[in-house]
Structure 1
Amino acid sequence: MRKVSNLLSLIVLCVSLAACGTMGGPATEDSSGTSSGGAQAKESKQGTRDNTIRVLTPEASGTEVYENDDASIDVSNASDGYVMVAYKGSAAKVRMLIETPAGNTYNYLMDLDGTYDVFPLSEGSGTYKIGVYENLHDNQYAVAFSQSVNITLKDEYSMYLYPNAYVHFTASSTAVKKGQELAAGADTDLDVVENVYHYITKNIKYDYDKAETVESGYVPDVDETLATGKGICFDYASLMGAMLRSQGIPTRLEIGYAGTEYHAWISVYTKETGWIDKVIQFDGSKWTLMDPTLGSYANSSTIKDHLADDTYYQLKYKY
């Protein structure tokens, strides 16, 4: 069994991710067409692993709901690691905040169509305070509805299999179907991770213009990233997360700092390895990093420098 160390996690919507724009550089290819981020994905053979698409569907079941005239918070399936929240009022801008048992606050810009959106409970069992806040003017908000809920999670993995606000996909998503294709030649979950990783680092280019202009509240569209072949760190992490989650592989989208830059990356769990942490490149026998943005351009000396620095990745949020 190959052993890989533990991981971490995700994103806050109220903070601009433009800072990761200074991190990138174009991927390069050798004469064989292999990305410098690693070997080619093993797509040619049929693997022994079942690559059936496995998309879990979040539900607002209505068995445990807290609400008023402005908002509804459905915690019926909170033990699976998510809550469903809907805004029913008339404000032009609304944020939803989740205060975690550890005292961290996750901040989301809500849709205003009156339907339920899904949000992860990322920091284990305990008491979460969930609040919906209406914008008054500028950056001033007033509470529309809030509720504290004590939650006991079934396990530490299920929340990282469901789609959510930042890793959004359905069974019909193009990204999900591509993930199934990439998993066809795999014998193990780790093979799937390798195939998806190398495909993304080879085929998705860093979008410097987007990095310079992205605004607070930006949410990735995994199918758009796949279709355009470009994106920022948030897009890389969201796309890889959708592909792996839909193959039944728990994947955390993580937000924090890479060096001095605000950045998004991923962590992955497999039965073979446990959580894989701070990894970006697989050389056929061991992982040396797993950050699809950095993997799309980093040379071996850059990767070596990051591996030698245990403080390079500083996790703030996980989704």
Structure 2
Amino acid sequence: MYKKRFVGFVLIFTVCILNVGQAYASSYNVSLLDDKIIEIESPQYGSNMRIMVEKDSDVYYYSLKNANEHIPVQLGAGTYIVKILQNVEGNKYKVIEKSNLNINNDNLDVFLSSSQPVYWNEVKSVIELGNEIVKDSSSELGKVEAIYNYVVENIKYDNYKMSVIPDDYVPDLGKILQDKKGICYDYSALFAGLLRSQGIYTKLVKGYKNDIEEYHAWNEVLLDDKWVIIDTTYDAALFRGNRNLSMIKSSSEYNKIREY
């Protein structure tokens, strides 16, 4: 019934890695901040560049659209292999920089960080709005419910955006608030940013929901030492259809592929 409203972030980035080159190796600075963020300072960036992060069997891709990018260390302790990729043609990329970073501790604070794809600390409107929404809430659950209600009731789904979005897209929380619309990736990034601004541990999650065909995005929030699933995109559609809402979802309805 609501499937069209639930179209998710369907562009799944795939690459063919060609070779390792050293032309730019001395120009990139890849470092670790507080055991929770990988900072990448880049002399070369844009739509033809990507960041690839490997840990054990996990592989994540990120956009490299700015001279300085912050990438989360969300996969726990261990060795992270960070590669800077440059497009050659089509889906073919070459590696122009490679760095290894050793993470010694599992740091839950990564789920408070301002890092891709949840850049919130740089957006004054997100912090101000978060403070305003929770000003009358005395408990952590109350704050989550207040922010959930704001996002569900005020952000509309943008079907056109879904049809034109590039595969290096990163949510701009300030623009989402300004436009009051977005796709599921935007809903989940905004919800995470607002909660993180209030010191509430929140994940942005990608994967599949049992009644949605397309790739989807939602959130997990740490409440009473338990991660619970909240899907503001889904509930925004139910809200506009005058359907009953239940903020916390059943894990049996979701299949997580990635988390940030």
| TM-score normalised over the length of structure 1 | 0.68
Relative to structure 1, the CA distance from residue 191 to residue 144 in structure 2 (aligned partners, 3 Å threshold; closer, same or farther) is same
Following TM superposition, by how much is the alpha carbon of 1:189 offset from its aligned partner in structure 2, in angstroms? 1.1
Distance in 2 between residues matched to 1:100 and 1:275, nearest whole Å? 25
CA contact (8 A) 2:84 2:95 kept: yes
| Structure showing greater Rg | 1
Q: Residue 161 of structure 1 corresponds to which residue in structure 2?
A: 112
CA contact (8 A) 2:63 2:170 kept: no
Query: Unaligned 5+ residue runs, structure 1?
Result: 1-19, 26-66, 279-289
Distance in 1 between residues matched to 2:116 and 2:45, nearest whole Å? 21
The range that moved more, 177-186 or 81-90, is 81-90
Q: Residue 268 of structure 1 corresponds to which residue in structure 2?
A: 221
Following TM superposition, by how much is the alpha carbon of 1:153 offset from its aligned partner in structure 2, in angstroms? 2.4
1:231 aligns with one of 153, 177, 182: 182
Q: What do you get for the CA RMSD once the two structures are aligned?
A: 2.5
| 3-state secondary structure, aligned to 2:169 | coil
| 3-state secondary structure, aligned to 1:178 | helix
> What are the superposed Cα offsets for residues 31-69 of structure 1, whole Å, 9 maximum, x if unpaired?
xxxxxxxxxxxxxxxxxxxxxxxxxxxxxxxxxxxx933
Relative to structure 1, the CA distance from residue 180 to residue 171 in structure 2 (aligned partners, 3 Å threshold; closer, same or farther) is farther
| 3-state secondary structure, aligned to 2:237 | coil
| 3-state secondary structure, aligned to 1:69 | coil
Q: Residue 74 of structure 1 corresponds to which residue in structure 2?
A: 31
**Within the alignment, does 1:196 sit opposite 2:147 as a pair?**
yes
**Within the alignment, does 1:134 sit opposite 2:86 as a pair?**
yes
Counterpart of 2:175, as a letter, is E
Alignment size in residue pairs: 236
CA contact (8 A) 1:250 1:268 kept: yes
CA contact (8 A) 1:21 1:232 kept: no
CA contact (8 A) 1:97 1:107 kept: yes
Following TM superposition, by how much is the alpha carbon of 1:118 offset from its aligned partner in structure 2, in angstroms? 0.3
Q: Residue 257 of structure 2 corresponds to which residue in structure 1?
A: 316
Distance in 1 between residues matched to 2:121 and 2:146, nearest whole Å? 21
Q: Residue 100 of structure 1 corresponds to which residue in structure 2?
A: 55
Higher relative contact order, chain-length normalized (CA < 8 Å, sep 6+): 1
Relative to structure 1, the CA distance from residue 91 to residue 292 in structure 2 (aligned partners, 3 Å threshold; closer, same or farther) is closer
Relative to structure 1, the CA distance from residue 161 to residue 233 in structure 2 (aligned partners, 3 Å threshold; closer, same or farther) is same
CA contact (8 A) 1:267 1:276 kept: yes
Following TM superposition, by how much is the alpha carbon of 1:154 offset from its aligned partner in structure 2, in angstroms? 5.1
**Within the alignment, does 1:293 sit opposite 2:247 as a pair?**
no
Q: Residue 184 of structure 1 corresponds to which residue in structure 2?
A: 135
Distance in 1 between residues matched to 2:194 and 2:47, nearest whole Å? 33
Distance in 2 between residues matched to 1:222 and 1:275, nearest whole Å? 26
1:122 aligns with one of 74, 98, 119: 74
Distance in 1 between residues matched to 2:170 and 2:83, nearest whole Å? 20
Query: Unaligned 5+ residue runs, structure 2?
Result: 8-23
> What are the superposed Cα offsets for residues 66-106 of structure 1, whole Å, 9 maximum, x if unpaired?
x933422112x252x111012224887211100123x1111
Distance in 1 between residues matched to 2:209 and 2:45, nearest whole Å? 39
| TM-score normalised over the length of structure 2 | 0.82
The range that moved more, 166-175 or 116-125, is 166-175
Percent identity between matched residues is: 26
Distance in 2 between residues matched to 1:91 and 1:220, nearest whole Å? 16
Going by fraction, where is strand more abundant, 1 or 2?
Answer: 2
Following TM superposition, by how much is the alpha carbon of 1:241 offset from its aligned partner in structure 2, in angstroms? 0.9
Distance in 2 between residues matched to 1:71 and 1:109, nearest whole Å? 15
Distance in 2 between residues matched to 1:199 and 1:245, nearest whole Å? 15
Q: Residue 64 of structure 2 corresponds to which residue in structure 1?
A: 110
Distance in 2 between residues matched to 1:233 and 1:21, nearest whole Å? 12
Following TM superposition, by how much is the alpha carbon of 1:23 offset from its aligned partner in structure 2, in angstroms? 4.1
